[in-house]
Amino acid sequence: MPKFDANITFMFCEYPLLERFEAARAAGFSAVELLMAEDVPFKSLAKAARMAAIDIVLCNAPMGDLITGGSGLSAVPGKQQHFREAIDQVSEMASALNCPRVHIGPSRMPDGVSRERCFETLVENIVYAADFLVTDGVQLLVEPLNVYDMPDIFLSDLDETMRAIRAADRPNVSLQFDIYHQARMGADIIKQLQTHIDHVGHIQFADAPGRAEPGSGSLDFQAIFAEIDRLGYSGWVGAEYQPSGKTGDSLQWLKHYIEVDK
């Protein structure tokens, strides 16, 4: 059975961030991931996780101005120093939360810059981040997104993502395989998992289209989760979806895999 974690940036948003750890634990999850600290002190997040007896398995590096429509950081020439400052921040966060994985964060194609130059910058930044984080035992993750939700995103192609990972050539760099984004790009999910599983450091999922819970779209999650098991993947599989209603009502899929405490 896959090991499921809940992304508490997307899920349990009926509660303040510090209460989402306990809510996830009560729902049956033993681990969570989050995109950002939402201005909550790292020590407070760590305490909430300890009180809930739940692990934090993934966090994101700061993405600069990406959320407000800017280019972001990870593959943007001229922003390398800002990227390094972001890695310094997420290193502090990962250390405080005892979090073993960091997602490098996406970026957009800036105007007037060649794709080749952006790719070179991405590889340069991956190398820097991997070398910076390796002393703390942190694994760096690189993820392609889909061009329908983010038309100008730099990394959308899985093969190009793997090319960047191989070019960086660092043992603590892996692929973050997002089932939703791959489905939106028209990929055969099971075939792609079979091809790339040896390089996968983390898996995320949401149904497609819609990015809501399993059963809300067209994906066969029973087959996908069974294949993840068959392939011997032992890492975390993160529920990173936007519940169509209350989070608790979106968890029918989970009851097939775990016994939720009453």
Query: What pLDDT does residue 261 have?
Result: 39
Per-residue pLDDT of the chain (262 residues; tens, 9 = 90+): 899 999 999 999 999 999 999 999 999 999 999 999 999 999 999 999 999 999 999 999 999 999 999 999 999 999 999 999 999 999 999 999 999 999 999 999 999 999 999 999 999 999 999 999 999 999 999 999 999 999 999 999 999 999 999 999 999 999 999 999 999 999 999 999 999 999 999 999 999 999 999 999 999 999 999 999 999 999 999 999 999 999 999 999 998 876 543 3
State the pTM of this model: 0.96
**In degrees rounded to 5, what are phi and psi of residue 115?**
-65, -35
Catalytic-residue membership of 160: no
What residues contact 6, with CB distance under 8 A and at least 6 apart?
Answer: 12, 24, 27, 29, 31, 32, 33, 238, 239
Domain 3-256, CATH class in plain words: alpha beta
Q: What is the pLDDT of residue 140?
A: 98
Please pick, among 143, 213, 227, 259, the residue that the annotation labels catalytic: 143
Beta strands per DSSP E along the chain? 3-7, 31-34, 55-60, 101-103, 139-142, 173-178, 200-205, 236-239
Q: Is 213 a catalytic residue?
A: no
SS3 at position 58: strand
Break the chain into its structural domains and give their ranges. Answer: 3-256
Q: What would the two tokens of residue 2 be?
A: 């896959």
Separation CA 254–CA 249 (nearest Å): 11
Q: Which of 14, 38, 124, 240 is catalytic?
A: 240
